[in-house]
Amino acid sequence: MTEAWNIDLIQPRMRVIIDNDFSGDPDGLVQLAHHLLSPSVEVRAIIGTHLREGDPWGQSPDGDEVAVAVAAAEKIVSLCGKTGQVSVLAGAPTAMINVHTPQQSEGIRFIIQEAMRDDADTPLFVVCGASLTEIASAYLIEPRIAERLTVIWIGGHEHEGLAVPPPGAPDLEYNLHEDVISGLVFFNHSALQLWQIPRDQYRHVLASRAELKLRVAPQGALGAHLYQALGQVGDSLSALGYRAGEVYCLGDSPLVLLTALQSAFESDPASSRYVTMPCPTLLESGLYRANPNGRPIRVYTLLDNRMLLEDLMQS
């Protein structure tokens, strides 16, 4: 009997470029593995990006966090059995220096190249789990990409009227803090299409230690690697006297939910909710100023974490 809903018959519905700081919080490694195992997306390239200078997540003794990010991503590619099938590219080594000067990197060049293709019949998404350095730089070099791709970004402060910041949180949200200038370019000076998952939403994607131990750790070498990477964070925090508790925020995983897990008909992330609003002016502080004339952007207000986490655990 032929297998029903054969995964080998599922064809990619979109192209995805993955842009993340894989040398930092290992939630990006979970997102990367999940994307690579998703048959609905064609991962065109993976870009390992920088952390901010002096970032406590830094792992490189010489400060070359991009090289660490590339190596970490290549490890996931290998564990997913995708070696030779998808390129891992280096992103820019540092943040942008001003709103007029783009950075240069393999990743930036690839975004432009892929966006300007005329031989592809699937939509292109650039999914960013860290800074906006690569996509903002790509736009400054070639503004026409704005009409040819959609950016999904994990990051940014809460929007007034939609959510309130968590207790004690800084105005400058973590991913924006990695490169504030690229955020100013993206929000204030570009025409790029944006689906934003701000801090209040990505903080909702919580998995307990118990379910990760039960449902991720036993899943071969890949599951063991991801569980160990997440667990090391908790162990390190405990050693520093910080009480992190027994849950982990898989904050980059909504990048998978909004791409690979779209509805079959009238394709869209139909099980999650968003508002369409004029893109606000981004301030250097990380806060927003209302701009009624801003281009329309999506801001997600409710994520389907049930489907997201179940699909992750079963992948």
E strand or H helix that includes residue 310 = helix 305-314
The tens place of each residue's pLDDT in the chain, 315 residues long, gives: 567 888 888 999 999 999 999 999 999 999 999 999 999 999 999 999 999 988 888 887 787 999 999 999 999 999 999 999 999 999 999 999 999 999 999 999 999 999 999 999 999 999 999 999 999 999 999 999 999 999 999 999 999 999 999 999 999 999 999 999 999 999 999 999 999 999 999 999 999 999 999 999 999 999 999 999 999 998 888 888 888 899 999 999 999 999 999 999 999 999 999 999 999 999 999 999 999 999 999 999 999 999 999 999 998
* Cβ contact 255:17 at 8 Å: no
* Helical H segments across 198-283, by residue range: 199-202, 209-215, 220-239, 254-257
Q: DSSP character for 147?
A: G
pTM for the full predicted model: 0.97
Q: Which domains does the chain have, with CATH numbers?
A: 12-204+251-301 (3.90.245.10), 206-249 (no CATH)
